[in-house]
């Protein structure tokens, strides 16, 4: 039977000038323009991803509201006339100043500003310089340490809102030997390692007593703390501490230096919240 005009015969053409259909199992090639149009959005996304991620990173709020501004003078070095083979003199400590809501550091020789540190909505109460770190107590009870290049650590004081507004920050921060910092509050004395802010020991006030941070005196390597009590002998109202805790006979030493706790064979308390020496 003859094929009807305009209809395809089996295995033949669809008509005059028509294209043969693809063989079974063979996919027809896709135009190159369509492939390029689908790849273009992916290429643009990869191209724009790094700048967008960088913008998002810088747009994140600073932890604890920190803002540390480093001035150009911080990178300048002061020359010495001393011969290279002679030991260089130790530079004086960097002066710290509280100016409004900021802590500022200035060059010990030229007086040029080195850095400025603020926290959003917070005010510094007191600050000290120890082991190359500027330790600051803020009005929200946060203790921070900065080396002028970054803020190294933050440590919140417990229940600071109950005593800090009335007591203030006088005497709260006390430098101890071997790179240790004592934070004296009415309820307890906590010692932190200045290098990394690690809590090393805690000494609570005796029941019915309270420490007075402003009433402390250094004697050699010891810190004498006033601990007034309602009913107690005067001998128990003054205690002495150093970098290892309360000074008492037969106490267990701590490995307070960084890495010292992994060395030979100085025992330490596994739990830093454990009291080194209980009040007597």
pLDDT beyond 70 at 248: yes
* Distance from chain centroid for Cα 230: 39
pLDDT beyond 70 at 273: no
> Nearest-5° angle of CA 153, CA 154, CA 159?
155
Name which of 149, 48, 151, 132 is nearest 94 in CA terms: 132
Model confidence over 166-208: pLDDT tens digits? 889 999 999 998 899 999 999 999 999 999 999 999 999 998 8
Structural domains present in the chain: 60-72+93-156 (2.40.10.480), 164-280 (2.40.10.480)
The better pLDDT of the pair 174, 276 is held by 174
Q: What is the pLDDT of residue 51?
A: 56
Q: What is the pTM of this model?
A: 0.66
Q: What is the pLDDT of residue 121?
A: 95
pLDDT beyond 60 at 63: yes
- The mean pLDDT value for 19-36 works out to 58
End-to-end CA distance of the chain: 120
- The mean pLDDT value for 240-247 works out to 92
Q: What is the pLDDT of residue 22?
A: 56
Confidence of residue 259 (pLDDT cuts 50, 70, 90): low
Query: Where is average pLDDT lowest: 10-24, 87-101, 208-222?
Result: 10-24
The better pLDDT of the pair 272, 150 is held by 150
Q: What is the pLDDT of residue 254?
A: 67
pLDDT beyond 80 at 211: yes
Q: What is the pLDDT of residue 186?
A: 95
- Backbone dihedral region of 178: left (phi > 0), alpha (psi from -120 to 50 degrees) or beta? left
pLDDT beyond 50 at 14: no
Q: What is the pLDDT of residue 71?
A: 87
Q: What is the pLDDT of residue 241?
A: 94
Q: What is the pLDDT of residue 118?
A: 97
pLDDT beyond 60 at 83: no
Model confidence over 101-156: pLDDT tens digits? 999 999 888 889 999 999 999 999 999 999 889 999 999 999 999 999 999 999 99
pLDDT beyond 50 at 62: yes
- The mean pLDDT value for 213-229 works out to 92
Measure the CA–CA gap between 170 and 214, rounded to whole angstroms.
5
């Amino acid at each position: 039977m003859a094929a009807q005009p305009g209809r395809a015969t089996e295995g033949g053409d669809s008509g005059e000038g028509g294209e043969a259909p693809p063989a079974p199992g063979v996919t027809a090639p896709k135009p190159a323009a369509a492939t390029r149009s689908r790849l273009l959005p992916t290429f643009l996304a990869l191209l724009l991803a790094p700048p967008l991620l960088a913008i998002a990173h810088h747009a994140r709020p600073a932890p604890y509201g920190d803002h540390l501004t480093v001035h150009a003078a911080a990178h300048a070095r002061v020359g010495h006339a001393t011969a290279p083979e002679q030991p260089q003199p130790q530079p004086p400590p960097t002066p710290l100043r509280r100016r409004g809501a900021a802590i500022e550091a200035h060059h010990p020789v030229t007086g040029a500003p080195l850095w400025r540190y603020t926290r959003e909505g917070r005010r510094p109460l007191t600050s000290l310089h120890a082991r190359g770190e500027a330790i600051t107590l803020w009005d929200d009870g946060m203790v921070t340490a900065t080396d002028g290049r970054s803020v190294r650590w933050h440590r919140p004081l417990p229940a600071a809102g109950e005593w800090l507004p009335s007591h203030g920050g006088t005497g709260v921060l006390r430098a101890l030997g071997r790179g240790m910092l004592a934070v004296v509050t009415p309820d307890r004395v906590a010692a932190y390692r200045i290098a990394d802010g690690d809590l090393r020991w805690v000494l609570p006030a005796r029941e019915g007593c309270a420490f007075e941070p402003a009433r402390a005196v250094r004697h050699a390597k010891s810190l004498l703390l006033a601990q007034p009590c309602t009913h107690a002998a005067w001998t128990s109202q003054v205690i002495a501490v150093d970098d290892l805790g309360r000074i008492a006979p037969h106490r267990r030493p701590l490995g307070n230096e960084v890495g010292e706790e992994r060395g030979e064979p100085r025992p330490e308390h596994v739990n830093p919240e454990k009291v080194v020496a209980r009040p007597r």
